[in-house]
Amino acid sequence: PAMLGILGGGQLGRMFVTAAKRMGYRVTVLDPDAQAPAAEFADVHLCAAYNDAEALRTLAASCAAITTEFENVNADAMRELAKTTRVSPSGDCVAIAQDRIAEKAWVNKAGLPTAPYLAIESVEDIQVELAPYLPGILKTARLGYDGKGQVRVNSADEARAAYANLGGQACVLEKMLDLKLEVSAIVTRVSSEQLSVFPVAENIHKNGILDESIVPARIAPALAAQAQQMARQLAEALDYVGVLAVEFFVLADDSLVINEIAPRPHNSGHYTIDACVSDQYQQQVRAMCGLLPGRTELLSPVVMVNLLGDVWQADGGEPNWNVLMEAPNAHLHLYGKKHARPGRKMGHYTVLATDVDAALEQARALKETL
């Protein structure tokens, strides 16, 4: 069987490895962490830095196709690998997704809306009239996730002070919008003709971290279809090959704004493993191998709940999993991480029911009893 390679061995890598192995592939994982969640399932674990030349040579020589599970992979390393083997998504697309300034410019260039924003590449850029972006959120252009690297600002003075506090690194100042809801759509694109989108998820965040995804989203079907269409349009504009996650804001007037994208499967797409014809990790395998995307229909309404380290006991003791094991319509997924920390994503569970309200009610009741 062919060997597939993945840069990164976190939980997304672990679920990718599981899907690929089930489909008969072998997998090599590159991750510097000896205890990376994906390592225990991989055929080969290259335990080395992401830019380690020797490890990258080994990957290129041994893998029929290579992908990534995190956006902060070195885009140049991906371009280099692409000289000798199939790489998706492309280094160019990953470079766009890693930089909020490039990302928002591309979204607008594709004819799609973002929040009003100001790109700040140096201190001069913030010496302009800031009123159109206030009250706002200052976000570092690079490396932020789970709301890290973001500061809420109410005045121009606060914005300038916050920018200085972030050490003058490139940022965007984004207008704070009044959100009715947040949703996401995950698209798999192999070519203009071969493209499929998963059902839209409604996402509820707690402390800047995804807490629950509800599918189908509780929005009008026409609005969900519009989000799917926008995700397709963006993938097309980027000539994207692979799995692309698109996060949206739904505003008070039911208009959609693109918040950000991720060049990989997404936390809000974990539900696809238990509730769709094919899941986002199978799609990643299919796209990287140039195969047709699988069908994406939802087989059942579903709610996904993230399990953060917060629900572990202070001494590291695990929650009471029996309550999930005893629920016949729930699926528990644990990522095999050794150390629980507050805010750390340790696992998730899904609850499938005949309608989302019932699934949500049960999912929340289960969380109370863990």
| Residue 259 known to bind ligand | yes
Tokens 């020589």, residue located: 61
d(CA 208, CA 345): 13
Which of Mg ion, ligand ATP, none has residue 179 at its interface (CB below 5 to 8 Å by kind)? ligand ATP
Q: Is 266 annotated as a binding residue?
A: no
Which residues within the stretch 202-261 sit at the binding site for Mg ion (CB under 5 A)? 247, 260
Residue 131 burial (C-beta neighbours within 10 Å; 0-12, 13-18, 19+): exposed
Q: Is 174 annotated as a binding residue?
A: yes
In angstroms, what is the minimal distance from the CB of 13 to ligand ATP?
17
Residues written for the chain: 370
User: Which residue in 287, 278, 114, 77 sits closest to 189, CA to CA?
Assistant: 287
The entry of ligand ATP, Mg ion, none that residue 115 binds, CB within 5 to 8 Å by partner kind: ligand ATP
CA separation for the pair 100, 171 (Å, rounded): 8
CA–CA distance, 111 with 314 (Å, rounded to integer): 49
Task: Say whether 144 counts as a known binding-site residue.
Answer: yes
Whichever of 99 and 174 has its CB closer to ligand ATP, that residue is 174
Would you tell me how many other CB atoms lie within 10 Å of the CB of residue 125?
14
Q: Which of 102, 112, 119 is nearest to 235 (CA)?
A: 112
Q: Which is nearer to ligand ATP, 146 or 310 (CB)?
A: 146
86 binds, among ligand ATP, Mg ion, none (CB under 5 to 8 A by kind): none
Q: Is 139 assigned a ligand-binding role in the annotation? A: yes
User: Measuring CA to CA, which residue among 221, 215, 318, 223 is closest to residue 266?
Assistant: 215
CB of 200 to Mg ion, least distance (A): 15
Residues contributing to the site for ligand ATP (CB under 6 A)? 115, 137, 139, 144-148, 174-177, 179, 182, 205, 208, 247, 259-260
Nearer Cβ to ligand ATP, position 72 or 329? Answer: 72
Annotated binding site: 100, 139, 144-150, 174-177, 182, 205, 259-260
Annotated binding site for ATP: 100, 139, 144-150, 174-177, 182, 205, 259-260
